[in-house]
Structure 1
Amino acid sequence: MLRGFYTATTGMMAQQRKQEVLSNNMTNALTPGYKQDQTALRAFPELLIQRMENQNIPASTQSKVRTMTEIGAINTGVYVQETIPDFAQGTLQQTEMTTDFALVQGETPDENGSVFFTVQNGEGEVRYTRNGNFTVDGEGNLTTNQGFYVLDTNGNTINTDGLEFELTPEGILQLDGGAQIPLGLAYSNDANQLQKNGDDLLELGEGADPLVDARATAGLQFNVQQGYLENSNVDTSETMTAMMEAYRAFEANQKVIQAYDRSLDKAVNEIARLS
């Protein structure tokens, strides 16, 4: 009976974790370039149940042989194995702001390949993002809304000296003085190897393949649109339905635990009562 307690409890914990992920997706439904997370649930290893018994052998010695009969398997619970971002392309929203960029991805040479803007976080480390909601700081540098520098293809910061510039579909900034600065656009052959790092940034996971220059990748089709933002790929109605399903599953496991609790109470306080 106690094993049933543990099994139902793991179910509640898994659904609670799933609910947290779904809630975070819903919270970021309006965040440009946000990629929703998906949870992968996995069951703990099953246990094989066998019945052990003695079988009498018809002989003068009255011998007994111990036998084991397989009854079946019992599941020991479930857990959230991993959280995987979904890098599907989001819809575009026109803003007419010169500092808003949207990556539009076409065919890729890899099934899970994806293109990202290259930025520099507060510690000076290279990170990646799909959120093109950029701005220009007081020194004329192109930055994210969190103040992180947007990098060019050589890993240097980009100084636009104002808001008067144009962006080509190839991702090249054309400044008033005639200078042309290519944005740092990185390509990952497996975006699932990237990990979310907060502030809409992504970093390389352990053992992940390094990102390469998107423009130098054969078979990759993409363009960058100025004055547009990529919306998140969160489907709010689908997410709300999934949240309700997770809540019902949590509630079902909760009722199982309550039933076990009533059974234990009866066993301890009624059946085992001394007369």
Structure 2
Amino acid sequence: MLRGFYTAASGMITQQRHQEALSNNIANANTPGFKADQSSSRAFPELFMQQMGSKNIPAKNSAKLRQQKPIGSLHTGVYVQEMVPNHHQGDLKETQTATDLAIIQSDVPDETGSLFFTVQNEAGEQRYTRNGNFTVDAQGFLVTNEGYDVLDESLNRIQTNGSDFTVAADGELEADGQRLGIAYVPDVNELTKEGNNLFRGDAGEVPAEARFRVRQGVLERSNVDELQAMTQMMESYRMFETNQRVLKAYDENMGKAVSEIGRLG
């Protein structure tokens, strides 16, 4: 009975993790460039049950032969194995703001490849983002809304001298010739998602065969499907309640068994 107790409890924890991921997706539905998290569950190893017994062998000296009869397998619960971001490109939104930029990729050599803006976090480390909702700081450098520096192709800060600048389709700033640091990741599944819409991992130069363009005054929306996320959240909640009822039934049966055994004693 205790094994069933833990199996139901693991189901509740798994659905809680699903709920947390879906809630975070919905909360970031209006965050430019946000990539929705998808949780994947995996079952714990199954236990294979066998009936143990013995058979008397008629002989001069009585002997017993051990027997094992397969009964079947017993599931021991599930757990959330990992959270995988969905890197599908979001819809575009016209803003007419010069500091808003979006990468539109039409063709990349790898099926799992994608392009990102290169930024520098507070620790001076390179990170990657699809959120092009940039601004210009007091010194005239292009930064993210969190204050992270946007880097050029030489990994230097980009000086715009104000918000009145023009970016060409290839990412070059027409005023001073600097080019946005567009990085290419062959397999986005190897990236690690961090806070503030940043990704950590290995990236390289854009392959010659890749086709993309940078649009100014445009933002890439979040790729969260709010209706689908709400539906999945309701389904997850119902599954949580089901596991909760099973857990309650186990608890009542255990209490009943203990009280009845106590009366017999």
TM-score for both structures, normalised by structure 1: 0.94
1:207 is matched with none
2:55 is matched with 55
| 1:34-53 to 2 correspondences below 5 Å | 34-53=34-53
- Conserved? CA contact 1:105–1:221, under 8 Å: yes
Q: 1:272 to 1:65 in 2, by over 3 A?
A: farther
Q: Name the SS for the 2:18 alignment partner.
A: helix
- Conserved? CA contact 1:110–1:189, under 8 Å: yes
Deviation at 1:272, TM superposition (A): 4.2
| 1:206-225 to 2 correspondences below 5 Å | 210-214=202-206, 217-225=207-215
> Partner letter of residue 188 of structure 1?
V
Deviation at 1:164, TM superposition (A): 1.6
Deviations 1:184-209 (A, max 9, x none): 000000011111121111111xxxxx
Deviation at 1:138, TM superposition (A): 0.7
1:265 is matched with 255
Deviation at 1:154, TM superposition (A): 0.1
| 1:13-52 to 2 correspondences below 5 Å | 13-52=13-52
| Alignment of 1:250 onto 2:247 | no
Deviation at 1:270, TM superposition (A): 2.1
1 CA distance for matches of 2:195 and 2:205?
23
Deviation at 1:58, TM superposition (A): 2.8
Deviations 1:111-130 (A, max 9, x none): 11010000011111111100
CA root-mean-square deviation: 1.0
Identity fraction in percent: 53
| Alignment of 1:200 onto 2:202 | no
How many residues are treated as equivalent by the alignment?
Answer: 265
2 CA distance for matches of 1:118 and 1:8?
45
Deviation at 1:181, TM superposition (A): 1.0
1:8 is matched with 8
Deviations 1:77-131 (A, max 9, x none): 1111111011001000000000000111112111110100000111111111000
1 CA distance for matches of 2:120 and 2:63?
79
1:274 is matched with 264
- Conserved? CA contact 1:109–1:218, under 8 Å: no
| 1:18-167 to 2 correspondences below 5 Å | 18-167=18-167
1:238 is matched with 228
Deviation at 1:266, TM superposition (A): 1.1
Q: Name the SS for the 1:127 alignment partner.
A: strand
Deviation at 1:63, TM superposition (A): 1.9
Unaligned runs of 5+ residues in structure 2 are none
1 CA distance for matches of 2:67 and 2:242?
38
> Partner letter of residue 197 of structure 2?
D
Deviations 1:19-78 (A, max 9, x none): 101100000000000000001100111111111001122333332101111101111111
